[in-house]
Amino acid sequence: MEFWKKNWMRIVTLALCAVLLAALAGNLGKRLLRTREGAASPVVDCVVEPVGVDLQTRSLLADVTVTLKDWEEKPALLLEAGETSAEFPLTAAENGVFIGSVAVPLEPLSGFQLYLTAEKYGQALIRERLGRWNHISTLLPLRMTSSGYSDPQYQDGTFQMTGWASAEIASQDRDDIEVDAPEFRLYRNGELLRTVPGERDWNVIGKAEADGYIPEEQEDWTVDCGKGDQVMLTFACRGENGLGWEFTIAHFQVKDGDVETVRLDEDIDPILTWPE
């Protein structure tokens, strides 16, 4: 009993230290476990760089660089896009870096998935998913970086908005780009009602990585509409090699005597029109 009276503080301190060390060891063990679990993947990095569009095959061409670790088998790429799948070879460069090229079908624009495969016993086996691109628009040569429009009004069966709108178009390689045949289009339930030629927006000239366009004529747009009707404003142009592009600026629907903005998944990617 005398021992406890003289050393109780030391004993309590040692007990607390033991508890703290146990907790620290447990947390450290979890961190190391997560590190080991994360290290189980052979993939260090995967970079997809778009090269351009092949008009004959109607596909997006891209270079793929994959960095691997502890890799002993022969790697390759498997691309899945909708109901289409295709394999592409990888070539060893140095220090675990492998390079290859893929062709992504652009009909339809449904996104794609990329996998790393290994050839074993003469068969290609899926080893690792490298990534999923739900929207391919980020890899296409042209993209709409921003847009603008006036708020629409709906009264007595008439949809109305002022004729002002804007669209800024940029190229994937960040070079200055000027498109052909720019125009703004107005649709009702998928039917084209009106087109207005576009002109360069001089307020955007010199802005990094993008060219701006506005309608040449800025008369009000009016459309007869009923409940449930949809109105869409787009910007269309022709790019390199005559490929047609159409980007959605705004999508509306008439509901209960008012107009609401509609955000559909299919409005994210542009519509492509292939030259004949």
How far is 74 from 8, CA to CA, in rounded Å? 65
CA triple 178-181-182, angle to 5 deg: 70
3-state secondary structure of 215: strand
How far is 232 from 238, CA to CA, in rounded Å? 20
Say whether 141-273 and 43-138 share the same fold.
yes
- pLDDT at position 11: 34
Higher pLDDT, 122 or 255: 255
- Indicate the pLDDT class of residue 121, thresholds 50, 70 and 90: low
**In the chain, pLDDT over 90 holds for what percent of residues?**
52
Higher pLDDT, 4 or 148: 148
Decide the pairing of beta strands 158-161 and 180-188. Answer: unpaired
- pLDDT at position 265: 84
Query: pLDDT tens-digit profile of 103-119?
Result: 999 988 888 999 998 86
For the segment 196-218, the average pLDDT, to the nearest whole number, is 81
Cβ count within 10 A of residue 233: 22
Question: pLDDT at residue 207 above 80?
Answer: no
Q: What are phi and psi of 32, to 5 degrees?
A: -65, -35
Spell out the CATH class of 43-138. Answer: mainly beta
Query: pLDDT tens-digit profile of 51-99?
Result: 999 999 999 999 999 998 877 778 899 999 988 899 999 999 988 899 9
Specify the amino acid at residue 171: S
How far is 231 from 187, CA to CA, in rounded Å? 5
**Token pair of 157 as six digits:** 């069966």
- Decide if 137 contacts 143 (C-beta within 8 A): yes
Domain boundaries, the chain: 43-138, 141-273
- pLDDT at position 118: 82
- pLDDT at position 244: 96
- pLDDT at position 15: 38
- pLDDT at position 260: 93
Specify the amino acid at residue 215: P
Give the N- to C-terminal CA distance of the chain in Å, as an integer: 100
For the segment 144-155, the average pLDDT, to the nearest whole number, is 92
How far is 262 from 271, CA to CA, in rounded Å? 18
Decide the pairing of beta strands 91-92 and 84-89. Answer: unpaired
* Range with lowest mean pLDDT among 122-131, 199-208, 209-218: 199-208
Torsion, Cα of 253, 259, 260, 264 (10° steps): 20
Query: pLDDT tens-digit profile of 14-23?
Result: 333 333 333 3
Torsion, Cα of 164, 169, 175, 181 (10° steps): -80
- Indicate the pLDDT class of residue 205, thresholds 50, 70 and 90: low
* Range with lowest mean pLDDT among 24-28, 228-232, 239-243: 24-28
b (16+ CB within 10 A) / e for 19-31: eeeeeeeeeeeee
Residue in this structure with the two tokens 């709409």, named with its chain if needed: 144
- Indicate the pLDDT class of residue 215, thresholds 50, 70 and 90: very high
Spell out the CATH class of 141-273. Answer: mainly beta
CA triple 213-181-242, angle to 5 deg: 125
Question: pLDDT at residue 172 above 80?
Answer: no
